[in-house]
Structure 1
Amino acid sequence: MTGTLLVTGATSGFGQATARRFAAAGWRVIGTGRRAERLEALQAELGACFWPAVFDMTDEAAMDAALQALPTEFSAIDLLVNNAGLALGTGPAQECDLAEWKTMIATNVTALTAMTHRLLPGLIERRGGIVNLSSIAANWPYPGGNVYGGTKAFVQQFTRGLRADLHGTGVRVTSIEPGLCESEFTLVRTGGDKAAYDTLYGGAHALQPEDIAETIFWVASLPPHVNVNQLELMPVSQSWGPFRVHRDM
């Protein structure tokens, strides 16, 4: 099975690994992102099967222009992977920057829904699929997760709502919910703090972007009558901790 994939946030991490995995299997791949040089490098690596769509996901006019400019051979999209997203800040809610909260909502929620809305008619016509990247943060809150966790809970519930609304259309919809995975994500979240990055991942044997890409490819490669509604995955090294109890002493 092959077709045309559009993956958002293809300049690094999960998105870049997903573009490579699908291209290796013979798919045509559209990768979106703000960093033109990274998309151009990926095009040079993958060749004619890859189309770089350079725009900011939070700019809906730019999104529309990029979709309208797709070459004919890339215009019939069979699979949407909503990967673009970010976390900003690790502090408690009472110390957070409201602008960072708004940026996470604009990217992780508003842009994701806008892209989905634009592609839904074609996905229904072709009985295609949607894979949304949520997170274990949708289910398991942690200190400093605040708005990021809230946005990923939205993605999870939006996925379920799409499944309900698309009943009978043949369109498959999946929420992928990774745990600890080593990528640029943490450097963005900490403002480029390499020491924090090394502390988080050191000795943890974290998931890698290629693991997530392989999972997405597996979901997309299942027989058309099979839908994976929700898939949560963690590295073996990660599990649940005890509830915290604050005591006045």
Structure 2
Amino acid sequence: MSQQEGVVIVTGASRGIGHQVCLNVLRTSAHLHVLAVSRSPTTLPTSSRLHQITGDITDTHTQAQIKGRLQALNQPILALVNNAATVESTGPFLDTTSSEWTHLLATNLTAALVLCSTCIEELKKSGGRIINVTSSASLGPIPGFSAYGMTKAALNYATKALALEYPEVTSVAFYPGVVDTDMHQVAVKAAAAYAASPRTTMDTAALMAKLSKPIAVDSLGALRRVL
């Protein structure tokens, strides 16, 4: 990143990756301000360049606070790091409740896009960056994380759309891999629960038998037997 003065916005700043990103910017870039947004108060060190907003990123009041704080700072927006996320449900895909779906999508997708919309004009002026923190769960179903992974897959798609439609801004979907965070501990517990109830060899053989039947899928998604 250049030595241009400006502000970096980081959501999910109270712990894990978001917390560390804020620390790194404050420690290594004396010309940058950090707007740290988190549901709970952070333990970030006091700094004249640190500006904190505590609130739910999905709430319109919090979103309005972010917009107001950016206007008050009157600094170029150099980067938006959409890091805030929730797992919400770690059970079977279709056990995810309507309220869980609503919160998953609002946190992992909609809030990020609202912030992109808020910042896009300033990011275009500065030639800044949008960094959407995604997950390997978005690349394919993982037991217990399919609902979460689906929202991250949607965020990946949104990132590609942003890159296409706003070429003045560098939009990146960042896969951090396995990181020792609170969210990772949730993943470990969910994986252990599934590993504790493995399929039997009989179940697996029966499933393979079903898959070996001569079927194909037409363009409408209907199953049709192949002769």
Q: Same fold (TM over 0.5)?
A: yes
Task: Read off the aligned partner of 2:14 and give its amino acid letter.
Answer: T
Distance 1:9 1:126 in 2: 24
Q: Is this contact kept in 2: 1:134–1:177, CA < 8 A? A: yes
**TM-superposed deviation, 1:96:** 2.9
- Pairwise CA RMSD of aligned residues? 2.5
CA deviation vs aligned residue, 1:178-210 (integer Å, no higher than 9, x gap): 3322111145x47xxxx939x79xxxxxxxxxx
Q: 2:103 matched to which residue of 1? A: 103
Q: Is this contact kept in 2: 1:60–1:114, CA < 8 A? A: no
Instruction: Tell me how many residue pairs correspond in the alignment.
Output: 193
Q: Aligned pair in 2 of structure 1 residues 117, 161: CA closer, same or farther (>3 Å)?
A: same
**TM-superposed deviation, 1:94:** 3.1
* Percent identity over paired residues: 26
State whether structure 2 residue 180 is matched by structure 1 residue 182: yes
Q: Aligned pair in 2 of structure 1 residues 88, 186: CA closer, same or farther (>3 Å)?
A: farther
Distance 1:64 1:72 in 2: 12
Q: 2:145 matched to which residue of 1? A: 145
Task: Between the two structures, name the one with larger relative contact order (CA 8 Å, sep ≥ 6).
Answer: 1
CA deviation vs aligned residue, 1:149-206 (integer Å, no higher than 9, x gap): 1111011111111111012x2x11111013322111145x47xxxx939x79xxxxxx
Distance 2:79 2:52 in 1: 16
Q: Is this contact kept in 1: 2:13–2:38, CA < 8 A? A: yes
Return 5+ residue gaps in structure 2 as ranges.
Answer: 194-202, 208-227
Q: 1:22 matched to which residue of 2? A: 25
Return 5+ residue gaps in structure 1 as ranges.
Answer: 201-244
Task: Read off the aligned partner of 1:55 and give its amino acid letter.
Answer: G
Q: Is this contact kept in 2: 1:30–1:74, CA < 8 A? A: no
Structure with higher Rg: it is: 2
**TM-superposed deviation, 1:25:** 1.4
**TM-superposed deviation, 1:70:** 4.0
Q: Is this contact kept in 2: 1:8–1:31, CA < 8 A? A: yes
Look up the SS of the partner of 1:246 in the other structure.
helix
Within the candidate set 193, 206, 221, 1:248 is matched to 206
**TM-superposed deviation, 1:102:** 1.7
Look up the SS of the partner of 2:35 in the other structure.
strand
Question: How do residues 2-13 of structure 1 correspond to structure 2 at under 5 angstroms?
Answer: 2=3, 3-13=6-16
Q: 1:196 matched to which residue of 2? A: 189
**TM-superposed deviation, 1:19:** 0.3
Scaled by the length of structure 1, what TM-score is found?
0.70
